[in-house]
C-alpha cells in the first residue's frame, strides 16, 4: 500500500502544481471580464486533499478487503461530490447571478482529479501477474 500511495503522490503533486499555475495565469487574464469569487488556491487545496483522501481510503480497502474496492471507490466518489457541494454552497447561496465562471473554475479541475483517481483505482483493481 505504501508503494501505491507513493506512486500516486508522484503524479498528484506535480499535476496539482501544474494545474494551479495554469489556472492562476488564466484567472489573472480573465479577471477583467469575469468576477471570480473562489480563490484558486482554495480550489486546489480542496481537490488535492479530497483526491488524496479518496485514493488513500480506497487503497486501504483494497489491501484489507480487496473484493470491496469498487464499492469503496463509488462511496468515496459520492462523499466527494457532497463535499464539493458544501464547498460551493456559500457561492451558490450568495450569488445574484449564475456564477458560471466559478463553477467552471471548480469543476474542470474536479473532473481532471477524478480521472486521475479513476486511472489509479483501475490499476488497483487490475489482476496482478
Tens digit of each residue's pLDDT (9 = 90 or more) over 25-80: 988 888 777 777 888 899 999 999 999 999 999 999 999 988 899 899 999 999 99
Over residues 15-22, mean pLDDT: 95
CA torsion, ordered 62, 128, 112, 88, to nearest 10 deg:
-10
Q: How confident is the model at residue 19 (pLDDT cuts 50, 70, 90)?
A: very high
Tell me if 19 sits within 8 A of 46, measured CB to CB. no
Single pTM value for the model: 0.88
- Domain ranges (residues) in the chain: 2-125
Q: How confident is the model at residue 122 (pLDDT cuts 50, 70, 90)?
A: very high
Amino acid at each position: 500500500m505504501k508503494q501505491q500511495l507513493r506512486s500516486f503522490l508522484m503524479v498528484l503533486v506535480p499535476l496539482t502544481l501544474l494545474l494551479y499555475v495554469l489556472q492562476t495565469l488564466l484567472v489573472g487574464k480573465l479577471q477583467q471580464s469575469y468576477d471570480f469569487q473562489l480563490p484558486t488556491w482554495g480550489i486546489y487545496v480542496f481537490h488535492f486533499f479530497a483526491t488524496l483522501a479518496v485514493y488513500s481510503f480506497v487503497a486501504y480497502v483494497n489491501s484489507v478487503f480487496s473484493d470491496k474496492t469498487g464499492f469503496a471507490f463509488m462511496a468515496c466518489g459520492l462523499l466527494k461530490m457532497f463535499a464539493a457541494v458544501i464547498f460551493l454552497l456559500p457561492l451558490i447561496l450568495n450569488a445574484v447571478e449564475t456564477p458560471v465562471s466559478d463553477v467552471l473554475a471548480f469543476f474542470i479541475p474536479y473532473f481532471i482529479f477524478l480521472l486521475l483517481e479513476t486511472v489509479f483505482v483501475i490499476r488497483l483493481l487490475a489482476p496482478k501477474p
